[in-house]
Amino acid sequence: EVQLVESGGGLVQPGGSLRLSCAASGFTFSSYWMHWVRQAPGKGLVWVSRINSDGSSTSYADSVKGRFTISRDNAKNTLYLQMNSLRAEDTAVYYCARAPPTDYWYFDLWGRGTLVTVSS
């Protein structure tokens, strides 16, 4: 089955760190650009970060630049998001999403998300 499964969310104090994982299955993970998108409780979707298929190129939203790092391990079919210096406003469900190969402009597959809560 083609799917993305996120994990690693939880409760963390302000200033703390967390690493999210996204396990891919059912497709050739190494051929796809991957993204993280988040959604604060009751709010809309916000793009966070993306990485190209071989991990050589990354991009970040201004709100997380310098604090979050996206990476991938194509041998393990896994996408990561290292989140440091977390703030209350980072509280959200974090989704990993796939962009079609050679067609980077939208997301054709999403995971179910993992909840990150930043609170003391």
Partner 1 sequence: SYVLTQPPSVSVAPGKTARITCGGNNIGSKSVHWYQQKPGQAPVLVIYYDSDRPSGIPERFSGSNSGNTATLTISRVEAGDEADYYCQVWDSSSDHVFGTGTKVTVL
Q: Is 120 in the site for partner 1 (CB under 8 A)?
A: no
* Parallel/antiparallel/unpaired status of strands 58-60 and 45-51: antiparallel
d(CA 49, CA 75): 21
Site for partner 1 (CB under 8 A): which residue of 95, 114, 116, 118?
Answer: 95
Q: Is 54 helix (H, G, I), strand (E, B) or coil?
A: coil
Of the two residues 44 and 66, which places its CB atom closer to partner 1 in the complex? 44
Tell me whether strands 114-118 and 10-12 are parallel, antiparallel or unpaired.
parallel
41 binds partner 1 (CB under 8 A): no
Residues that bind partner 1 (CB under 8 A): 35, 37, 44-47, 50, 59, 61, 95, 97, 104-108, 110-113
